[in-house]
Amino acid sequence: MLPRRRRASSAPGEAEWIDGGAFSDVAITDRQRGILKLIVQEYVQSGRPVGSKALTEKYVLGYSAATIRGEMAELETNGFLQSLHTSGGRVPTDLGYRYFVHLLMEAPELPSGDQIMIRHQFRQVEAQLEQWVELAAIVLAETAKSVSVVTAPRPAIARLRHLEIISLQPRLALLILVTQDSMVRQVMLRWPEDAAQGSLSRLADDLVDELRGLTGNEVQGRIGSATGARRFVIERIASTLTGLDAVEQVEIRHSGLENVLTQPEFAGAESQALLEILRGGGFLSAMLPQLESGSGVQVFIGDENPTSELRRFGVVLATYGVGGEVSGLLGVLGPTRMAYGRSISSVRYMAHLMSGLVSDLYGGRIDDQRSET
């Protein structure tokens, strides 16, 4: 039985487990735990397989290289380590990384000096959401030494706030939709017969009164009782709002590609594969269904990732925002040989910081929207 994916809580030093029972049937001795921890740490730092001789030369362990080799062989048999070559050292498997992250890694917390520096950087930019998202991607990549991914916060579901219908030609009009988070969409409408601006304005006013605060699905439910031009416009409003909820509409900001492309795991063609993963909505389409809302930092290692393209990576993600109303995503990805402690602490701190900024920006606006609906 494979261990459950780690769900790191927002409180430093705590951790929870999805479904519980992680590693309940895995037999590993205290000595093997110590050796596995050192091998993971050494391999993360150097990128080279770790042998018994290297461990005895660097650490005072109290037992011989031969004993270490025997324990490493046992760890390999149990799936925690693997040999890349017939001779030489060993490297952690995905299972070895999971065990390290779950049970061996010290409670990750970003050093106070780094926290002060990050807060200072955010104080230097204006209170504009776009600048926050851009800076978050840059700072997170630099702090975690991996590729960062950040999306701007947005409402969980798009809701209509206002609409206008403007006549362009006798049978051509422009539908302008404004959502409750101030997103604007324009849709061309072609009428089967001439329509004057006066009648279009009255129709728009009626629809604003009827549909304000509704989601795309809720607007869809109003189609059956409508006829003629009214039905035609409601259909367009419903499809436009529904389209705004699609993952493909979410733009990913990323930074720090150089942190990964210089790693031996991603030489040559692998660099292009990484760019493809980050391009478009593929990454979000794969990862969003895996995330549990409000679960703090979540870690996906190797084959825990949902698609084959991502199974060469370690991925550390968290959501941020205001309750369940407005949320964004941020995290890092890199080789499975990433410094998970640093990545988790960086993602956790940045999610906390961004949630505070978004709360200040959206808090009053959300209260206003609730009162409207």
Of the residues 244, 274, 291, the one at which a domain ends: 244
* Residue 68: CATH number of its domain: 1.10.10.10
80 inside domain: yes
Q: What is the pLDDT at residue 363?
A: 62
Q: What is the pLDDT at residue 269?
A: 57
The total of structural domains in the chain comes to 3
Together in a domain, 238 and 259? no
How much is the pTM?
0.74
**Axis-axis angle for helices 65-77, 30-46 (nearest 10):** 90
Of the residues 104, 122, 141, the one at which a domain ends: 104
Domain that residue 194 falls in: 160-244
Together in a domain, 183 and 307? no
Cα dist from 330 to 14, 71, 169, 316, whole Å: 20, 39, 45, 9
Cα dist from 141 to 81, 147, 256, 271, whole Å: 29, 5, 5, 17
Together in a domain, 232 and 278? no
Q: What is the pLDDT at residue 285?
A: 78
2 inside domain: no
- Look at phi and psi of residue 347 and say left if phi exceeds 0, alpha if psi is from -120 to 50, else beta: alpha
Per-residue pLDDT 10s for the chain (373 aa) are 333 344 444 333 333 332 334 555 567 899 999 999 999 999 999 889 999 999 999 999 998 999 999 999 999 999 999 997 756 789 999 999 999 998 899 877 899 999 999 999 998 887 677 888 999 999 999 999 999 999 888 776 788 999 999 999 999 999 999 987 777 889 999 988 899 999 999 999 999 999 998 989 999 999 988 889 999 999 999 999 887 766 556 778 899 988 888 887 776 556 677 777 777 667 887 887 787 766 689 999 998 888 888 888 899 999 998 876 678 899 999 989 999 999 999 999 999 999 998 888 776 454 444 444 4
* Residue 178: CATH number of its domain: 3.30.390.60
